[in-house]
Amino acid sequence: MPRKGILVDRPYERLTREQVELIHQASMQILTDPGLISFNREAVDILHSHGAAVESIAGDHQSWQVKIPEQVVLSAIDSAPKTVKLGARNPDNTLIMHGDEPRVYLVTGSETNIWLDVDFPTYVNKADPTREIRMPEFKPRRGTVDDLCQSAHVCEHLEMVDGYIRTVNIQDRDITEENKDVNKFFASLNNNTKHFMSGLTSLKQLDNVVRMAELIAGGKKALEDNPIISFITCLVKSPLQFVDDTTDTFIEVCRRGLPIVVSSSPQAGTTAPIREAGIMAQINAEVLAGITLGQLVKPGTPVLYGSVPVRARMDTLGDSYGSVETSQYNIDCVQMARFYGLPNYSTSGVCDSKIPGQQSSIERLFSDIVVAMSGPQYLHCAFGLLDCNSVFCLLQAVLDDAHFKMIELFLRQPRIDQTELEAVLKQIREVVATPQKLYIGYIRPVLRSGEISGLYPFEGGGEADDVFELAYERMKELLARPVEHIDPETTARIFEEIPGVLPRLNIYERGD
C-alpha cells in the first residue's frame, strides 16, 4: 500500500489553458532559437543523432549550440512514464505518482551547509529580578554525518514527511569528495525507511550507492521493482546551458533506469527574465530539454519534471524564496507538468529568514499552503530549511510537520451530498425544537471519527509563547523513539563491499 499523501480535490490554478499553451509554444521556440549551449559532448552526440542541429562554439571550454526540434521533444514527453513509483525500505512508505492526479507527497531537502542548534538560556528582568524567562537561542555550525543521521531519524517519525531528501551537507574532517556519497546514502537509509532522494557529489560513486541500494532492497531486480533511492540533478544551468559533469551523472543514472528528477532553478532577474512569462517559458524549455535527453538515453526512464524557480532579492540578488512571485512561478510549473501529464517535483516552504520565528513561519506557511493547493506530486517543502536553503534546523522541521498536518486537514474534500444534507437538516429541525437550542450532543460522533482539527499542537499555558520549547520537547521525544535500522547481516555486507563508509556509522560494531 503506498502512502496516502494529500489528494487535492480541485487544484488551484493560476494560468488559463490558453496561457499554458502559450508558454508551451514559447518554450518550443526557445529550444530551436536560441536553443541550448551544451558543455557536455555526449549530450550533443545523443541529441544530434536524434535530429537536433548542432554547432560548435569557439572558446576556452568546448561547447556546442544545440537546437532541439519540437517533434523530438514531443516524442520524449510521450515516452516519459506518466506514473512514477518511488520505493522505500518499508514498502508501506512507497510513493506512487500519476502525472494527472494532484496527490501531493511532502518531502524534505536540501543540502544545507549550516546546522542550527537550539538552546534555551534564561533571562532575568532587570527591573524585577524575580521575573525570568527562557528564550530560544540559535547557534549555527557546519553540518556533520551525525546531524544527517539525527535528521533522518526524526524525519522517520514525522507523520507528514512522505520522503526524505538529504537535508544537510556532511562536512566532517574524514569526509572527502570520494566518500561523501556513500556516507550520505548510508546515514540516511540506515535511519529512515522512507524513500531516499539525493544529488550525487561524484559520478565515480554512482555504482557504489546503487550497489548499496541493491543490498538493502534485496538484489538488482528487487531494486528495479522497489527503487528505494532516486536522484536529483540540476543538469541545466540557467539560462539554457547543459553543464558538463552533472549531465554526465544524469546520463549514467538514466542508463541504469533509476528514477531521476530533472530540475532547473532559474532566478528571475539574474538568470531568467524578471517577468513571469519569461521565466516560465525558459524554465519549461530547460526542464523539457533535460527530459528529452533522458528519454533519448533510455526511453521510459522514470523522470520527474523538477521546478525550483525563484525570484531574485532586489537588495543582494540572492534568492528570495519568501517572495510571493516564487510561489506563483512554482504553481505555474505545476500546471505545465500537468499539461504534459508528467509528475512534478515542486518547491515550497523555503524562507528567507535565518532563524525560526515569526518571519520564517509566515514565509513558509504562505508558500506551503498555496503551492500544496496547486497539487504537485512531489513537493520539496523544505522541512526545517532556513536562509534560502543554507541552514537546516531540526526544531523547525518539527514545527513544519505540525503545520502540514493542518494543511492536510484543510485540503480534505468537502463532504456535502444528499445523505449528509438530509442528516443535518434533521439535526437542525430537532435542535430548534428543544428549549436549549444547542447542537453539542451531535459533536461526539464527529469528534471520535477524527474529523475535527485539533488545537494548535504547541500552544502553551497562560500568556507565554511556548511554541519553541514545546516543539523542542517533541523533537527530543522523537529522537528517543527507536528507528528500524538496516539489519546486521546487510549492514555487514555493506561495510564489506562498499568502500568508504565510515566505520563509526556501523551501529552494530559500536555497541549501541
Partner 1 sequence: MPEDIISLIQENVIQGRMTRDDEGMDEGIVGQPGVTELVEKALASGLSIQDIITKGLSGGMNIVGQKFEAGEYFIPDMLASAQAVGAAMEILEPHLAGSGVNAKGKIIVATVKDDLHDIGKNIVSILLRGAGYTVKDLGNNVDIQVIVDAVREEKPQFLGLSALLTSTMARMADVIQMLEENGLRDQVKIVVGGAPVSEEFAKSIGADGYGADGFQAVAVVEALSSGTEN
Rule CB under 6 A: which residues touch ligand B12?
110-113, 169, 199, 233-234, 237, 246, 265, 267, 271, 316-319, 388-390
Among 390, 402, 403, 478, binds partner 1 (CB under 8 A): 390
What is the 3-class SS of 461-495, one letter each residue?
Answer: CCCCCCHHHHHHHHHHHHHHCCCCCCCHHHHHHHH
314 contacts which partner out of ligand B12, partner 1, none, CB within 5 to 8 A by kind? Answer: partner 1
* Phi and psi at residue 229, to the nearest 5°: -125, 155
Q: Is 183 in the site for partner 1 (CB under 8 A)?
A: no
209 Cβ contact partners less than 8 Å away, ≥ 6 residues apart: 181, 182, 185, 200, 229
The closest of 84, 119, 143 to 378, measured between CA atoms, is: 84
**Residue-by-residue DSSP string for 89-118:** SSGGG-EEEETTS-EEEEE----BSEEEEE
465 contacts which partner out of partner 1, ligand B12, none, CB within 5 to 8 A by kind? Answer: none
Q: Is 335 in the site for partner 1 (CB under 8 A)?
A: no
Q: Is 490 in the site for partner 1 (CB under 8 A)?
A: no
Q: CB of 59: closest distance to partner 1 in angstroms?
A: 9
Q: Is 263 in the site for partner 1 (CB under 8 A)?
A: no
20 or 261: whose CB is closer to ligand B12?
261
Q: Which residue has the cell 513537493?
A: 379
171 contacts which partner out of partner 1, ligand B12, none, CB within 5 to 8 A by kind? Answer: partner 1
- CA 412 from centre of chain: 21
**Residue 314: left (phi > 0), alpha (psi -120 to 50), or beta?**
alpha
The closest of 297, 291, 375 to 78, measured between CA atoms, is: 291
Total binding residues for partner 1 by CB under 8 A? 21
Q: Is 506 in the site for partner 1 (CB under 8 A)?
A: no
Among 60, 128, 422, 512, binds partner 1 (CB under 8 A): 60
Q: Is 57 in the site for partner 1 (CB under 8 A)?
A: no
497 Cβ contact partners less than 8 Å away, ≥ 6 residues apart: 211, 215
Distance CA 374, CA 3 (A): 19
Amino acid letter, residue 240:
L
The cell for 195 is: 524513500
Q: Is 270 in the site for partner 1 (CB under 8 A)?
A: yes
333 Cβ contact partners less than 8 Å away, ≥ 6 residues apart: 280, 283, 284, 287, 305, 307, 309, 344, 346
Q: Is 61 in the site for partner 1 (CB under 8 A)?
A: yes
The closest of 485, 319, 459, 488 to 399, measured between CA atoms, is: 459
Distance CA 453, CA 447 (A): 9
Q: Is 267 in the site for partner 1 (CB under 8 A)?
A: yes
232 or 411: whose CB is closer to ligand B12?
232
Q: Is 444 in the site for partner 1 (CB under 8 A)?
A: no
For residues 362 and 403, the answer to whether their CB atoms sit within 8 Å is no
Q: CB of 199: closest distance to partner 1 in angstroms?
A: 11
Among 135, 317, 423, 452, binds partner 1 (CB under 8 A): 317
Distance CA 323, CA 364 (A): 10
The cell for 8 is: 487535492
For residues 329 and 311, the answer to whether their CB atoms sit within 8 Å is yes
252 contacts which partner out of partner 1, ligand B12, none, CB within 5 to 8 A by kind? Answer: none
Among 18, 33, 128, 315, binds partner 1 (CB under 8 A): 315
84 or 170: whose CB is closer to partner 1?
170
61 contacts which partner out of ligand B12, partner 1, none, CB within 5 to 8 A by kind? Answer: partner 1
Q: Is 33 in the site for partner 1 (CB under 8 A)?
A: no
174 contacts which partner out of partner 1, ligand B12, none, CB within 5 to 8 A by kind? Answer: none
- CA 44 from centre of chain: 30
Q: Is 283 in the site for partner 1 (CB under 8 A)?
A: no
Q: CB of 245: closest distance to partner 1 in angstroms?
A: 7
Q: CB of 186: closest distance to partner 1 in angstroms?
A: 19
Q: Is 247 in the site for partner 1 (CB under 8 A)?
A: no
Q: CB of 177: closest distance to partner 1 in angstroms?
A: 6
Q: CB of 61: closest distance to partner 1 in angstroms?
A: 7
Q: CB of 409: closest distance to partner 1 in angstroms?
A: 38
247 or 348: whose CB is closer to partner 1?
247
What is the binding site for partner 1 (CB under 8 A)? 60-61, 113, 169, 171, 177, 201, 237, 243-245, 267, 269-271, 313-317, 390
